[in-house]
Structure 1
């Protein structure tokens, strides 16, 4: 394995960020002549040209883009660890990137995020919604909140809470279709689900006791439960959604429960992160804070 000069890597990353060696050298307080030699030394160590540079052109090569992504990730980890070792832990700074699905982000995260940001005012928080599953490496996120335990052994997965599920439909839809008194009755109904993997003729309904395979006419799938709920409100079918999302509509009688005695297995909501980053102050603080919040609830 080749030895890299940390100052060379920092200079390269800063040059890529600022679009030139001169501004990078000024920010890092490096003589311009030395900056050029440092970049050449880094390219010799890597064995590839990383930057096209000239009077009118300054751009990353394909190898440069690949190396930059790894360099930025490594520098972030190193900076976080150095901050952790050099501080008393009271000053948590930096940018925390959180990936969450639509509904779980707004309802679960936002109920507690304002208090977290008040407690750690020097932390910059970025929340990315809209992904049913987050890839922490690909998406460059620090932590992810979602349901299920996808990610394999490469992720640390911590349980936050259980999200109860329910079947529901609009009164107008149920008035036009056959009554639902048992699971097999669902087979003649239009179904709206949060499974976005394509049209299915058979779904799994997991109850506390067992998993039932039920043939249905699946007419809509989305990884956003709120979209599924809106279709149900439009009398388009029977929806399987989180109870907390449907409860206001149930209370307002714009939706009614379907098979309310059916004890559906809840979704497990988890927080996940890469094990190598557990000891960075911003991630450790966020994980501990939210685990404490849900442990007390």
Structure 2
């Protein structure tokens, strides 16, 4: 705690890219800021920045230290805010990571609703189909399909997630409809996958019957972006397996059609992921509760559309 001011200076310098700018923000002269940073490095016995005449560049040790400093300072700031304003005051910034398609088609509208209810909460939305290091990117909450084997994260279930085989009505009009999964060898397929490769093995079940179709990589359209994959399907380039949450609006509008609905793809429930060891702020707790309610409402709206039990 004796070094708390020096740590804040270090974090600001890393964020602003310069020690003088960080010093001005914290009310320090350039000489005082330089002395305090030198003192912190001496205490740690580690060089945090490589210094040039034009900029500061974090060392590897500096990047590692920065990750933990940001978490620690955020926890202190949140605790201070909770004591000063009361735990029922919902304010501050929340950083959310979501998949590209879901983020653009549903979540962006839901966040507008949340902001209308809680105008003192500001939102940062990061769209990515992969799950990068939440600590490094300072993400408070990630919304993803399935459960990830990361013990440092808490997974809160938001909703079930039916995955559907679908295509545009125009594509169906030109090429017909498959009667069962093995018929897909006669259709063009669109594959969405992330590093290290595309997910081209599609598994279907009907009662106790199982069929697996492996999409040939030489004929498939492949992308690591879910929004691009969906757009290709809308443009009639082939059939695709998509989450019901990604295509709900398209099904309502008739832009996509469900194929062989009696054959089910494996479900991958939606989860909210957040840090196990980080203070659960009032704004994050409120957002989580809002998302649970919003998913439940949306699931009810989808029920007649899919005619699912």
TM range (shorter): 0.7 to 0.9
1:39 aligned residue: 37
> Alignment partner of 2:151: what SS?
helix
Contact 2:90 2:282 in 1 (8 A): yes
Q: Relative to structure 1, is the Cα distance of residues 253 and 296 closer, same or farther in structure 2, using a 3 angstrom cutoff?
A: closer
Q: Relative to structure 1, is the Cα distance of residues 263 and 73 closer, same or farther in structure 2, using a 3 angstrom cutoff?
A: same
> Alignment partner of 1:259: what SS?
coil
Tell me whether 1:12 sits opposite 2:10 in the alignment: yes
Mapped to 2, the partners of 1:203 and 1:294 lie a distance apart of 26
2:289 aligned residue: 288
Mapped to 2, the partners of 1:190 and 1:19 lie a distance apart of 49
Task: Quote the offset at 1:230 in angstroms.
Answer: 2.8
Larger Rg: 1
> Alignment partner of 2:135: what SS?
helix
Tell me whether 1:277 sits opposite 2:278 in the alignment: yes
1:56-101 CA-partner distances (Å, limit 9, x unpaired): 4552341434433432232122211222233212433332110011
Gaps of 5+ in 1: none
> Alignment partner of 1:40: what SS?
helix
Alignment of 1:43-62 (within 5 A): 43-51=41-49, 56-62=53-59
1:190 aligned residue: 188
Between Structure 1 and Structure 2, how many residues are aligned?
294
> Alignment partner of 1:153: what SS?
coil
Tell me whether 1:228 sits opposite 2:226 in the alignment: no
1:104 aligned residue: 102
1:217 aligned residue: 216
Once the two structures are overlaid, the 10-residue window that deviates more, 11-20 or 66-75, is 11-20
TM-score by length of 2: 0.78
Alignment of 1:60-139 (within 5 A): 60-62=57-59, 63-139=61-137
Q: Relative to structure 1, is the Cα distance of residues 178 and 96 closer, same or farther in structure 2, using a 3 angstrom cutoff?
A: closer
Q: Relative to structure 1, is the Cα distance of residues 43 and 104 closer, same or farther in structure 2, using a 3 angstrom cutoff?
A: same
Once the two structures are overlaid, the 10-residue window that deviates more, 126-135 or 98-107, is 126-135
TM-score by length of 1: 0.81
Mapped to 1, the partners of 2:50 and 2:289 lie a distance apart of 44
Once the two structures are overlaid, the 10-residue window that deviates more, 138-147 or 209-218, is 209-218
2:304 aligned residue: none
RMSD over aligned CA atoms reads 3.3
Once the two structures are overlaid, the 10-residue window that deviates more, 133-142 or 147-156, is 133-142
Q: Relative to structure 1, is the Cα distance of residues 228 and 81 closer, same or farther in structure 2, using a 3 angstrom cutoff?
A: same
Q: Relative to structure 1, is the Cα distance of residues 210 and 157 closer, same or farther in structure 2, using a 3 angstrom cutoff?
A: farther
Q: Relative to structure 1, is the Cα distance of residues 287 and 45 closer, same or farther in structure 2, using a 3 angstrom cutoff?
A: same
Tell me whether 1:141 sits opposite 2:142 in the alignment: no
2:203 aligned residue: 204
Once the two structures are overlaid, the 10-residue window that deviates more, 18-27 or 136-145, is 18-27
1:23-60 CA-partner distances (Å, limit 9, x unpaired): 54454345766544432221111112334568x45523
Q: Relative to structure 1, is the Cα distance of residues 243 and 29 closer, same or farther in structure 2, using a 3 angstrom cutoff?
A: closer
Gaps of 5+ in 2: 299-309
Contact 1:4 1:42 in 2 (8 A): no
